[in-house]
Every structure is written in structure tokens, then in C-alpha cells.
Amino acid sequence: MPFVAATRALGAAGLFALSVLRASRPTRDFFSELTREIYKIGARSLPIVAAGGAFVGLSVTLLGYRALETYGATGQVSALLGLGLYRELGPVLTALLFVGRAGSSIAAELGLMRATDQITALGLMAIDPVAKTVAPRFWAAVLCVPLLTAFFVSLAITAGYFEAVHVIGIDGGTFWQTMKDSVDFHDDFLVAFIKAAIFGATSALVAAYVGYHAEPTIEGTSIATTRAVVNASLLVLMFNFVLSALLFRS
């Protein structure tokens, strides 16, 4: 029976995703809501993404330096930093920060809208609640997570540069040249943003699905918020492995 229930839930989530795509029409109201959501879930996530990126850059640089020092290859620390950030850490950690910051708020907002009759009221006014409440949040996430990933990686590389060059003493020219030689624009840079967009879509869909279908109570909203963070985080990690296996050949 758990298999049947899981299959049914997966089917319902798939239909929900289709309904979001079907409800995404480029109307004036849609763009107005989209702009508002980009500010709410994208711009407001910048501080934690910046702080997270800087600390990850510092940690990876230090870890890489200590590991590579054994082999006398400390000049390669920027290659490790660049590849690690673009291929794995940047998209994944940005998506996880996004899930914690914005995914939880999407689930909580939709759960509260359900509990306070706002979603019912939209339906009764002949306004598609998915088009009004879910579609703008979904597309805002698809657009924002790649941009936040770029911001995260930029901050991480900048922090790594200052640590490697000004604290550890690696030559600045070597740092940039090694990174440039090892990070490929198409294979690493662009793929990072494709992954980020997929993670954004996944996070927003999971959060919106559990929030939209939450029990119309305070407890229901609370459960939906927790479920959004847990399920979206696990899916991001799972999809990351699948995408890495498919997209990175070398």
C-alpha cells in the first residue's frame, strides 16, 4: 500500500506541475506578481547567499591548500575552488539556502492562504488560484536561483582569492590563470546555471505543492513548511547527483 500511496502522490505532484505550466500566461497581472516575487524570494535572499558563499569559499580554499600542500601543488587551489564551486557546491548550496529561506516562506504563505480562505475566495471569484499564487512564485524561483548561484560563486571565489593570495601567499596571477585554465565556459559555467534553474524549479514546485495542499489549520501550515524544506532539500541533492552524472563528462 505505501507503494500505491507514493505513486498516487507522485502523480498528483506531476499533475500539479502541469497545472502550474498551464496557468503560466504572460498577462500584466502575472508580470506584476512575478516582479514582486523576484524581490521577495530573490532579492531578500541575497544577504544569506552572500554570507554563505564567502564562508564556503574560505573553507574550500583552506581545505584545498592543506590537501595540495602535501604534493607541492598549492598553485592548483584555485582550480579546485573553481571546479568545486561551479560543478557542485555553487548550485547545490545556493539551492539549499534558497529552500531554507524562500522555499519555507512559499509553503508557509500558501498554507496560510489556504487556512484563511484566500485560495477558496480566488476560486469563487473565478480566478485560477494556481495562476495567481503559484505560477509567479515558480518562475521567480527559476529565474532567481541561477542568479543567486552566480552571486554565491562570485562571493566564494572573491573570498577564496583574498585568503589564497593575501593570507596564504599564493601568487595572484597564478591563482587566476589556473582557474581560467581549468574552468570551461560551456562544460562548467553554463552547466552550473542549468543545474541551478532545475533546482529552483524543483524547490519552488515542492514548496508550492505542499503549501497549496496543506491542511487549513495552523498545524497544517507548520507541517507543510517542514515538509517543504525536507523534501525539497533531499530532491535537490538527489537531482544534483543525477545531473552531475549526466552533464559532466570529464
Partner 1 sequence: MTDLRLERGGRVVLRDIALSVPRGSITAVLGPSGSGKSTLLAALTGELVPAAGTVEVFGEPVPRAQKALLAMRKRLGVLLQGNGLLTDLTAAENVALPLRTHTDLPDAVIRRLVEMKLHAVGLRAAADLFPRELSGGMARRVALARALALDPPLMVYDEPLTGLDPIASGVVMSLVRRLNDTLGLTSIVVTHHVHETMPIADHAIVIANGGIVFSGTPDALAATQDPLVRQFLDGQPDGPIAFDTSRTARAPEAA
Interaction with partner 1 in 174-193: which residues (CB under 8 A)? none
Shortest gap between Cβ of 168 and partner 1 (angstroms)? 48
Shortest gap between Cβ of 185 and partner 1 (angstroms)? 40
* Cα gap 7→192, rounded to integer Å: 31
Shortest gap between Cβ of 82 and partner 1 (angstroms)? 41
Taking the least distance from each CB to partner 1, the nearer of 121 and 167 is 121
Q: Which stretch binds partner 1 (CB under 8 A): 76-84, 109-117, 155-163, 239-247?
A: 109-117
Shortest gap between Cβ of 49 and partner 1 (angstroms)? 24
Return the C-alpha torsion angle 95, 101, 102, 108, nearest 10: 130
First-to-final CA distance of the chain: 42
Cβ–Cβ < 8 Å for 68, 175: no
How many residues bind to partner 1 according to rule CB under 8 A?
14
* Cα gap 22→16, rounded to integer Å: 10
Taking the least distance from each CB to partner 1, the nearer of 20 and 153 is 20
Taking the least distance from each CB to partner 1, the nearer of 37 and 163 is 37
DSSP 184: -
Q: What are phi and psi of 42, to 5 degrees?
A: -100, -65
Residues 6+ apart with CB under 8 A from 110: 119, 133, 134, 207, 208, 211, 212, 214, 224
Shortest gap between Cβ of 98 and partner 1 (angstroms)? 21
Place of cell 532545475: 198
Three-state DSSP class for residue 55? helix
Interaction with partner 1 in 112-141: which residues (CB under 8 A)? 113, 116-118, 120-128
Taking the least distance from each CB to partner 1, the nearer of 61 and 105 is 105
Shortest gap between Cβ of 14 and partner 1 (angstroms)? 18
Interaction with partner 1 in 5-44: which residues (CB under 8 A)? 29
Residues that bind partner 1 (CB under 8 A): 29, 113, 116-118, 120-128
